[in-house]
Amino acid sequence: MLFIPLGATDTIGASCHYLNVDGTGILLDAGVDPDSEGLASLPRLEILDENPGWTVDHVVITHAHHDHLGSLPVLIKRYPRLCVHMTGATRELAEILLPASARLQRRKQQEGTSAHAPLFDEEEVRVVDFIYSTYELNQPFDLTGGSGDTEISGTFFNSGHILGSVGVEIVAKRKAKPVRIFYSSDTNLRHQSIIPGGEYPAPGLDVLIMESTMGADDDATTTTRASEEEKLGKAIQRVISRGGAVLIPAFALGRAQEVVALIDRYKSAGLVPDDVPVYTTGSMRAIAGLYDRTRLTTPRIDPEFEVFGVQQKRHPRSTEGTRASVRKPSIHIAASGMMFQNTLSNRLAQYMLSNENNGIFFVGFAREDSPGGALLEAAENGKKVVLNKERGPQKIKCEIGQFRLSGHSHRDDLLELAESLDPLKTILVHGELEAREWLAGRIREGTSDQQVLLPTVGQPIHF
Ligand SMILES: [Zn+2]
Ligand SMILES: [Zn+2]
């Protein structure tokens, strides 16, 4: 057996990992790096050309975040006989998100904001989506490959991260003893506001491939989700009562809907006046509609809750309208969560920084090298921040805060997961090196016989 990461080992980049199980080639996820464009944003698929035995039969898509899904159309063009597996909700999300990604790539090229040719067009995405096979949670499906000589099955487990998200257990039914591999993907052991905590296979795995996003967050142990929710509620109340506007940068898929659910609670509890407008954007609204349509058929904490049961306004399209909207008490939920350049959250932050009444509150992970990460760091050290390279450094006068309401497990929960699943080997991916090293150190301390590996992109692991 063989494992080769093709992206997203020490960053949150293009998640895509190659697994060869007795001759069957399985790709785990097909992401793009959200911070690059064109060919540079793709996983390193060319590594698989080095060995003719490294065939590709299947791809399993764990969830519809761009860093796990965004290169799927490229994979399908490259491997025309590829079998594609996901949950029904992920498929519906893909049908919204991949055409939107194609349109965005074309627009950027036409406007001249990107020098890269689009990786795929809308037509190509629509033509291929009928080949996606979908499965219920906890129901084994076949993953045996054309050239494989062992029967292989996959089983999806709710990963507690976003709508439709799963971890996947892969079992190779070898005669002597079955081999069990579990890929956690992005996972959350605890309940959020809408999506309930993750579920996992039985202990005694052979290999665990686990994410490490929050591994470097050392404050997580001293906070709870409830206390963070309360702190955010009070912070929003503070800003609104002094006449300011609140910006919550959030991924359009997942975080945005969870934040809307939280604001609903703050309004019901009287923390935030009912008439304070809540602004959301087009893609968030399309996704919210899907959250609502699938509330009875996918894991929920409260199947009665509807995202569109909470009053929301659409973000104004014009620059003037956007500027005017942040001049009065209001709450703005805007992508991207890491405030990448040329996104709405980045533009809103540029308008809002100079007013001390305003507040910008992060509720998820912001990569160190992202504008969001730079803003958090600059605010902590009393420095100026560059959100937009053309605009240059800006003074930070407004309130900046970060709240631990991520869709990812904090590091103690990840440790608990690695210990309770009791694998012979744990492979850590999807986290900065510091995060992976902390987790690796603690897993090695806690268990004497578990081997922990931190591969780099392209580094094969045989087992
Ligand atoms: Zn994710
Ligand atoms: Zn991810």
Ligand 2 centroid–CA 257 distance in Å is 17
Ligand 1 centroid–CA 198 distance in Å is 13
Looking at the DSSP assignment, which residues form a beta bridge with residue 453?
Answer: 427
Task: Give the number of domains in the chain.
Answer: 2
Residue for token pair 């003719």: 52
- CA angle, 34 then 37 then 40, to 5°: 100
Q: Looking at the CA of 34, which ligand is closest?
A: 2
Number of Cα atoms under 13 Å in the Cβ half of residue 205: 28
- Residue 423 and residue 418: Cα distance in Å, rounded? 7
- Residue 328 and residue 276: Cα distance in Å, rounded? 9
pLDDT of residue 129: 67
CA 398, chain centre distance (Å): 28
- Residue 71 and residue 14: Cα distance in Å, rounded? 8
CA 294, chain centre distance (Å): 19
Whether residue 182 is found in the same domain as residue 305: no
- CA angle, 348 then 354 then 355, to 5°: 90
Ligand 2 centroid–CA 31 distance in Å is 8
Whether residue 102 is found in the same domain as residue 240: no
Number of Cα atoms under 13 Å in the Cβ half of residue 312: 26
Q: End of a domain among 378, 402, 426?
A: 402
Ligand 1 centroid–CA 65 distance in Å is 5
Ligand 2 centroid–CA 66 distance in Å is 8
Whether residue 320 is found in the same domain as residue 383: yes
pLDDT of residue 23: 93
CATH number for the domain that contains residue 317: 3.40.50.10890
Q: Looking at the CA of 166, which ligand is closest?
A: 1
CATH number for the domain that contains residue 118: 3.60.15.10
pLDDT of 128 above 80? no
Ligand 2 centroid–CA 186 distance in Å is 5
pLDDT of residue 15: 96
Other residues' Cβ atoms within 10 Å of the Cβ of residue 156 = 26
Residues whose beta carbons lie less than 5 angstroms from ion ligand 2? 67, 186
Q: End of a domain among 357, 376, 402?
A: 402
pLDDT digits (tens, 9 = 90+) for 176-202: 999 999 999 999 999 999 999 999 999
- Residue 343 and residue 66: Cα distance in Å, rounded? 15
pLDDT of residue 334: 96
Whether residue 39 is found in the same domain as residue 124: yes
Q: Looking at the CA of 431, which ligand is closest?
A: 2
Phi, psi dihedral angles at 209 (to 5 degrees):
-105, 110
Whether residue 63 is found in the same domain as residue 196: yes
Average confidence (pLDDT) over 250-273: 96
Ligand 1 centroid–CA 337 distance in Å is 12
pLDDT digits (tens, 9 = 90+) for 152-168: 999 999 999 999 999 99
Whether residue 358 is found in the same domain as residue 413: no
pLDDT of 173 above 70? yes
Pairing of the two strands 2-5 and 461-462: antiparallel
Ligand 2 centroid–CA 430 distance in Å is 7
Ligand 1 centroid–CA 460 distance in Å is 24
Ligand 2 centroid–CA 67 distance in Å is 5
Looking at the DSSP assignment, which residues form a beta bridge with residue 2?
Answer: 20, 462
Whether residue 179 is found in the same domain as residue 205: yes
Ligand 1 centroid–CA 314 distance in Å is 25
Distances (CA, A) of 408 to 170, 192, 210, 377, 412: 22, 10, 12, 21, 12
User: What is the domain range of residue 253?
Assistant: 224-402
Whether residue 265 is found in the same domain as residue 190: no
* 301 contacts 269 by C-beta, under 8 angstroms: no
Whether residue 385 is found in the same domain as residue 455: no
Q: End of a domain among 356, 386, 402?
A: 402
pLDDT digits (tens, 9 = 90+) for 426-437: 999 999 999 999
* Three-state secondary structure readout of 305-344: CCHHHCCCEECCCCHHHHHHHCCCCEEEEECCCCCCCCCH
The whole-model pTM stands at 0.93
Q: pLDDT class for 126, splitting at 50, 70, 90?
A: confident
Ligand 2 centroid–CA 62 distance in Å is 10
Ligand 1 centroid–CA 69 distance in Å is 10
Whether residue 100 is found in the same domain as residue 206: yes
